[in-house]
Amino acid sequence: MTKILIAFFVLLVPAVSAQPVIKGGLEAFVTANNIYPQYSLQNCIQGTVTISFKLSKSGHVYYSKISSGIGTDLDDEALRLIRLSSGKWTVPENHDTTVFLVAPMKFTLSGYNCADKDPQEIKRAIAVYKSSEALANSIQNFYKNKEKGDIKAGEEARFIALKRELGYDDAYFKERIADGLKKIQQQDKQGACEDFLFVKYMGSDLADEMLEKYCR
């Protein structure tokens, strides 16, 4: 069982009579829609990610950013959840649309033996994620160039070895696709297609059917 909690939700403005609200509350919305990302799930990475965002008069999120994060895929999930809330907010008439709202999200896990996980091992996993992002980007750039026919003969073997070293195998890609399908059920097409495109540009054809079906 995974669990995600919202620590609190505040406005970075002086107190006003009314504030933007989301039906059922932000905590309930996030609890219902979170998909704990694979890397952080597998490595028992938990913590608080703070998202700053702005709302239009119609309750749509028109700008969002990570104010402070953990440095793993939990940051991306927190940002996705705020994006997913777009259009679901009720905004008071006097709301200043230029003002940042702040949502600190506390991600916690239960049921994965994370209490027994060595904290130093978790720190190392976070460091590995940060350092591997650049390598993952280089793999994706290679396969994007391959799609254009702009690569040198014999180059691919190096990137196949790099994928193996970083743990990007079919099992990981299938989990990423499964997460994307969950996002489709949430009507988060953008988030789903990002997952499917990640798989594609890591040199796998496992997501091709999903890309054809959902992302054309």
CA 82 to chain centre: 10
Please say if the pLDDT value at position 65 is more than 70.
Answer: yes
Select the highest-mean-pLDDT range: 16-25, 27-36, 171-180. Answer: 171-180
Dihedral sign from CA coordinates of 196, 73, 175, 34: negative
Task: Looking at 66-188, list the stretches that DSSP marks H as alpha helix, in order from N- to C-terminal side.
Answer: 73-84, 119-147, 156-166, 170-185
Tokens of 102: 């702040």
- Model confidence at 4, pLDDT cuts 50, 70, 90, reads low
* Total-model pTM: 0.76
Structural contact between residues 14 and 94, judged by C-beta atoms closer than 8 angstroms: no
Structural contact between residues 92 and 64, judged by C-beta atoms closer than 8 angstroms: no
What domains, with CATH codes, occur in the chain? 19-105 (3.30.2420), 117-213 (no CATH)
Region 160-164: mean pLDDT is 94
Q: In this predicted structure, what is the pLDDT of residue 59?
A: 93
Q: How many CB atoms lie within 10 A of CB 17?
A: 6
Q: Please tell me which residue, 31 or 211, carries the higher pLDDT value.
A: 211
Average pLDDT over the chain, rounded to whole? 89
Structural contact between residues 89 and 147, judged by C-beta atoms closer than 8 angstroms: no
